[in-house]
Amino acid sequence: MIKILKDIYNFLRLKKNEKKFKLGFFSESSFIYEYLEPYILNKIKKQKILILSFDELDKQYLDKENVFTFKTKIFQELAFLTLKLKYLYSSTPDLNFTIFKKSKFSNCKYIYLSHTPVSMTLIYKKNSFDYFDAVQVTNEYQYREMKEIIKKNNLKTKVFKSRYLFINKQKKKISSRNFEWDLIVAPSWNSSFYKTKCHILLNKLLKEKNLSFKLRPHPMSYIKGEITKKELVNLSINIDDDPIIDFKKYNFLISDWSGIFIEYSLIFKKKAFLINTPKKMVNENYDEFKNKPIEITLRNTLAKSYDISTISEMIEEINGLKKLSNVSSDSRFHEILKKMFY
């Protein structure tokens, strides 16, 4: 009851004040906000912006009068359907296929901002970008994929190249290489990481080598019931549950199919370590596209991958690298980073 009363109040406040705004951002969650933040900070310097959110946003620099939070589905959808803006930026795909719908009362332009450098085909539904007026791409792989999507789906969507500002945000935090932990284990969701007991095996092997680590489950792994915090606590596994990963805490990264391995490579200019669990695949028809997903194409260029049966070899390598003061990468690694990312 309290939620719907708050939503009624916020909806009335939105309708009363939205004429003051031309531009807005939709931040589905506090997690997504961290990726949108650099773009919001850039815009907020020049003009007043409106923010729609499903989570409470605790940022001192935000004017609370410009933030409108909705918790109930009826008012979330109503806010979108009645919105009167000129531009709305979002990192939430599937526009018009979910609660997130285009306005019926304005010709608002919808602009998608990437919150991951991975494929636009493999981990997104077939029509995820069909109703956006413009889509940001942060690397050549995404650019080629979006061009192909537009052609296949006969869209009028514009594609624009832009730097992945989340990386700059992370780089600014890293002032030294004195890491608190040896490594972070950050698997994707929907990749069978927990089903194949990778977390149990890693816990055993890493502790045997006295390598300090934290496990960072994807939020969707909790939501989908792939793992619970209680299970991890019972295994004496340290959990990183910060809203957004703080890369400066960790020397090495272990993942599976998460785009975090690309972010890690861009930040530290060194390779991550990947486990070959079954692919995270939302669009099973991704192979119909000529351009192949970046997380497949660069899997063994920006990272080193290991089958589940050879995870012990991966841990041995990490343990050896920890003892080295300087780790060099092959020339192709640096060439790809320079050539393919904006």
Q: Which residue type sits at 223? A: I
Cβ-contact 260, 253 below 8 angstroms = yes
Residue range 2-167 in CATH 3.40.50.11720: yes
Convert the pLDDT of each residue in 212-233 to its tens digit: 999 999 988 999 999 999 999 9
What is the model's pTM? Answer: 0.88
Using the predicted structure, report yes or no on whether residue 285 has a pLDDT greater than 90: no
* Strand, helix or coil for residue 12: helix
Same fold yes or no, 2-167 and 169-340: yes
Phi, psi of 303 (to 5 degrees): -150, 175
Q: What is the pLDDT of residue 176?
A: 66
In the structure, what pLDDT confidence band is assigned to residue 174 with cuts at 50, 70 and 90?
A: confident
Asked whether the predicted pLDDT for residue 326 surpasses 90, the reply is: no
The contacts of residue 181 (CB under 8 Å, 6+ apart) are: 212, 213, 214, 249, 250, 251
pLDDT in tens, 14-64: 999 999 999 999 999 998 999 999 999 999 999 999 999 999 998 999 999
Confidence of residue 10 (pLDDT cuts 50, 70, 90): very high
Q: In angstroms, rounded to a whole number, what is the distance separating the alpha carbons of residues 310 and 312?
A: 5
- 293-318 average pLDDT score: 94
**Whole-angstrom distance, CA of residue 163 vs CA of residue 88:** 19
The residues spanned by each domain of the chain are 2-167, 169-340
Model confidence over 110-147: pLDDT tens digits? 999 999 999 999 889 989 999 999 999 999 999 999 99
CATH class of segment(s) 169-340: alpha beta
Amino acid at position 97, single letter = F
Q: What is the mean pLDDT of residues 286-293?
A: 83
* Residue 223, both tokens: 């939501």
pLDDT at site 304 = 95
Residue 175, pLDDT > 70, answer no
Q: What percent of the chain has pLDDT over 90?
A: 77
Please tell me the distance from the alpha carbon of residue 183 to that of residue 333, in angstroms, as a whole number: 21
